[in-house]
Amino acid sequence: MVLNYEDYLLVIWEYSESVGRTSEVDIARRLKITLPTVNEYVGKLLGMGLVEKNARELKLTRSGKKVTIPVVRSHRIAEVFAMKFLEIEWEEVHRAVMDLEHLFSGSYGDNLYKHLGYPDKCPHGNPIDVTTPGSRITPLTAKNGEYVLDRITLELNDTLEKLSGISAFPGTKVRLYWENNQVTLENDQGKVSLSEVENQSIRLRNLSPRKKQLVLERL
């Protein structure tokens, strides 16, 4: 994979949206490159006025957000394309399009979006209209009970594989509870314990009133 500034901006967006902060260590770990390489490239982004740095924390500037939003949109459109037409597995599609997404910018991305039928979300539940507000319910802020898995804002491969292993995809129902001081998600296919970053990057939404009633009737 050949990295460019868009890949760095995408990672900064992911972490900022998920956990509210980003560091050069996060970027190095996410892109699987050395920290000195990240330090050098972040210096370029600072010089371009796309990011700002406060101690170890990186944030997108206003100009950086304007540049990054189309990048995130193209990435999510590319994910839909790769899963629908290239038949790439749900848990692999984020990693698979890291090069492909750069081809789907501007009018190319708009044309692909049209031919895909104007999907409103990527396979991981994140909106194509990047600025659309989503659920703020995280596993750590949720009470024990049943929810619908809404989206995975930080599409870490390990997280996606873990959820795929129990067929927990956006739009499916999960049960949440604490077990051994960890948050656990469970469905009829099994259960998974969540790490700290997964607790911050998974979003849930409440069951609809009708679904709540069906749950109560089964109890």
Using CA of residue 107, residue 11, residue 8, residue 1, what is the dihedral sign? negative
Instruction: Find the domain containing 208 and state its range.
Output: 145-218
Residue 66 in domain: no
> What is residue 218's predicted lDDT score, i.e. its pLDDT?
47
Q: How many CA atoms lie within 13 A of 38 on its CB side?
A: 21
Residues 14 and 52 in one domain: yes
Residue ranges for the chain with pLDDT beneath 50:
212-219
CATH number at residue 211: 2.30.30.90
Number of structural domains the chain divides into: 3
> What is residue 217's predicted lDDT score, i.e. its pLDDT?
46
pLDDT digits 0-9 by tens, 56-78: 899 999 999 999 999 999 999 99
pLDDT digits 0-9 by tens, 149-158: 999 999 999 9
> What is residue 180's predicted lDDT score, i.e. its pLDDT?
85
CATH number at residue 87: 1.10.60
